[in-house]
Amino acid sequence: MTLRALIFDVDGTLAETEELHRRAFNDTFAVEGLAWDWDRDGYRELLKTTGGKERMLAFAAREGIDFSTEEAARLHKIKTARYATLVDRGGLELRPGIAELIDKARAHGLKLAVATTTSPQNVDQLCHSCWGRAATEVFDTIAAGDQVAQKKPAPDVYQLALQQLGLPAEDTIAFEDTANGVRSARAAGIRVVVTPSMYSGAEDFTGADWILPTLARANWTADLASLLPAA
């Protein structure tokens, strides 16, 4: 294997964003007059459904609530704007090791990509907050959930990232924080590093090639360190 690109999930992997997403959902529900309030335990279960619109539809179906895909799309636009407002307030930080790894990868000529179920707008918001730059200035390509037929755990978004990069799976490594993400990357033939996040720590990461608490270099295994750019 010749490592030529790193592919990153976003929420929970680059930064611990899921709590801000939960707050944005709840704020949207309150403004729209919905008696929905997602606590942390409930949201942890809902995160097993990838995609914000899909998550609302799954919740409504579970609760026996009449809720259309059109209404989910409308609320999701409001929620996305609310999330942007929360991120703009500051305090969002990259998870340990992310900034250093991306800097070293870029310095060593590796390509950088995103494969995410979140929207491109949310990726851009995170990059502006954490790097002070647009997402397209941090990453070479961004593959997002709404650009593919099926979201994670299907391999579609990783396959799209590979297509955009023009690389075979064996020349890349994916970085994830969830079991669905692991299944998605592995189904695309990509090796996966998992750093469990605050909402995914209890999940089953079977199939992952490496499971680390964070991407801080002190946590790297010897075989992973032989592949990733040296400090």
- DSSP string covering 186-211: HHTT-EEEE---TTTTTS--TT-SEE
Q: Which of 11, 124, 156, 177 is catalytic?
A: 11
Distance (Å, whole) CA 27 – CA 36: 10
Token pair recorded at residue 70: 């059109």
Q: Which of 9, 156, 177, 209 is catalytic?
A: 9
Residue 171 annotated among the catalytic residues of the structure? no
> 195 with 214: CB under 8 angstroms?
yes
Distance (Å, whole) CA 79 – CA 52: 9
Q: How many C-beta atoms surround the C-beta of residue 23 within 10 A?
A: 16
Residue 11 annotated among the catalytic residues of the structure? yes
> 174 with 187: CB under 8 angstroms?
no
Distance (Å, whole) CA 13 – CA 70: 29
Active site positions, annotated: 9, 11
